[in-house]
A and B are shown apart, each in its own frame.
Chain A
Amino acid sequence: MTSDDLAYATIADITNHYRRRALSPVELTRALLDRIERLDPTLHAFVTVTAERALADAKRAEAALGHGQDASPLLGIPVAYKDIYATRGIRTTAGSALLADWVPEDDATCVTRLREAGSVMLGKLITHEFAFGIQFPGHRFQPAKNPWNLDHMPGGSSSGSAVALATGLVGGALGSDTGGSIRGPAAFCNIVGLKPTYGRVSRAGVITLSWTLDHTGPMARTVEDCALLLQALAGHDPADPVSSREPVADYAAPLRQGIRGLRVGVPRAYFLEGVDAEVEKAFEQALATLRELGAAVTDVEIPSIQTSWAFLAILMAEAFAYHEHDVRVHPELYGDVLRERVLAGGLILGSEYVQAQRLRSRLHAEMLEVLGRVDVLATPTTPKPAPTFAAVWDPSFGFPKSNMPPFNMTGVPALAVPCGVSSEGLPLSLQIAGRPFDEATVLRVGHAYERATEWHRRRPRI
């Protein structure tokens, strides 16, 4: 096995190597720490590398494996966390000068669950400032670079998580998704990202952007790896007031059932408007693949889908409510753009926020009605490939329309899977959304597509 093969091994592969004693957690952890030291000065995926903690975790996993305790599929798996997940004794910055030296006293519930599953913590991954801003030149924390083209952004806000996975620095990572922050970076970096159902994975200990839109979830190099991470993360958490008591399904076992007979709905209005020709072509080819796999693909309509962008009013109003004190008292500690985005939320009227939530109710009801007729929805994850840094640093770039917020508005699970490459060599992605708490079917469709294609196997030249 080459060092690259080792770095890009999937969670399932690593576990198999451990069980055959072909690899040890300490050996893999040392290899990844060396790789981080070599590559991260260029990529800027990490804010904090926790080498000592990683080696201690790896030794503990190695001892457990030596005693035959390999029940957890995450035992000895190297992971890292978007830097808005609180980590006990390890600084958690949220990519912000305001929290640059904050050291939490407790772990976020998700961090606790992955630790208890035996994972190895490699460190904390850069996020856009408070998961909402953009790192402009001169920002305290440098932005992560897209490994497919260093002049392009890797997406956000879980940018470090996607870059670390795409470059073989970690085996799995966690992100958060308020309007696409797991799926967007996954799409731009050619990895897999899952936004689970609202309430499926705990938000406790994760810094808030928007209470009613925030989701936490896994990012990985394959759909199966996402399923394995979700299995450890999912379940009721009394520390999160919106955590659901819905029973947790088995996410890995059904993956190999195939998708013959499944109904795939394609909501063309909104989701196919304004997409690049290359994106549309890759999407149609992905639909053809799903048909070849036995799925019935039909167009569907979500009547009020065009109101989805009321999402932005909800996000801005809730973000202002969260940040109001700090942004009024310490505006200088907020980066350019984030400061104005947050303050703009304070200009939204109470009645406008309520109207946005009413539109959301209607959209939600329509989404559930459509998902009663089909098993999943398929759309392009993003209308275009990753933009350049120069483009997003232009003040006129704004907050462009996106295909991901409709699923934050409705809380249903949505997965991003690699599905192509642009003429510039940038990744393209397929989005699959499903019924509330039916992550198993969403993952099943993603896995079937992934097995039928090679896109997820592409690696950037770094």
Chain B
Amino acid sequence: MDIELHFDEGRWLKVEKDWSAWWAGETDRSMVMLQTLDTLVNADPSEFSIDFLQHKPSAEVIQYYGARLETVEFYGDAFPKWLPYTGPGIVSGFLGGPVKPSIEHRTVWFQVEKPVPYDELHLNYDPDNIWWRRILELTGTAADTWGDKVALGYTDMGGPVDNLASFRTTDRLLYDLYDYPDEVTRCTGDLTQAWLRYHDEISRIVMRTGRGTLCWTPLLSPGRMYMLQCDFSAMISPKMFEKFVLHDLTVMCDHLDYTFYHLDGPDAIRHLDILLSIKSLRGIQWIPGSGNPGPSQWLPLLKKIREGGKLCQVYVNAKGALAIARELGCSGFAFYILPEEPYTDTELNEYFDLLANPGDFLNAILSESKGKRG
């Protein structure tokens, strides 16, 4: 089945070249991603549904998402992409954890009701798990159907410590760091190895497109990439981060080709020095968090990330991207242009105006790149 995208081979060659240069630090300009919202074709309120993704034939799922992709316009360094999504951190599900969709809140809960005892926790790669088989099937069907027209991404796998919280509950895991430190280390080690195995298997499929890889943040990478995370770490000290997170994170960075770290909210900033010390970690994504000022209000933090030798990606509105570019330079930044909270009428209207006429903004940010280094 063919797919008719607003994106031709010439544009593919350019984005692949430009993204590769960005990863290698061989360009002074920032990467800028801007795309129109996909139109829901035959909009179905149950679209975000585990049943939809589990029981519908994969060909129908891919056809549905293909039709949506065909409505999208891609600007700047944006490109056609897709990944199967069954919630944030599905590796828990791959290993037998609960998978509970909430259509009302458009998310999936993974946590058990009661902590699983450590003597029952053996978190090893399971090739027969139904969620794992489904992700393989959907990703494979997408690769077979769309060929090299769409870049495919890794499903949202979460991180080992967050995955462990799914089996122990977040509350209990906070106590476990003191009550059962050796068990925590054992389980996160096993989870890391399982996680990497799942990632390797998905890599074999997504790389068939020949378009590189991406994940839920679309940083197109010429090799195996991922946005690593430990949301749990917002609740612990740097000393605990060093004890329970750093080793496995480094193993993951060393194993993959292109890694970023999802730095989520002000409480995660305390771990930045440790993150900057990981040589094989390529970049940091900064997410200010709901209720906090947008990325352009965090210039010292962004500067520290760049001066620490890491690439930096943010979700930011057009004004914010220009502000960052003017103050810190463009080199090493990737701006995904979206409206910022609060979603006032002004904010949303400016975003829709930008989508209707992106040329001035794209030229403005390109001109910031000329002759400047970040």
**A is bound by B:** no
- Interface residues, chain A, CB within 8 Å of chain B? none
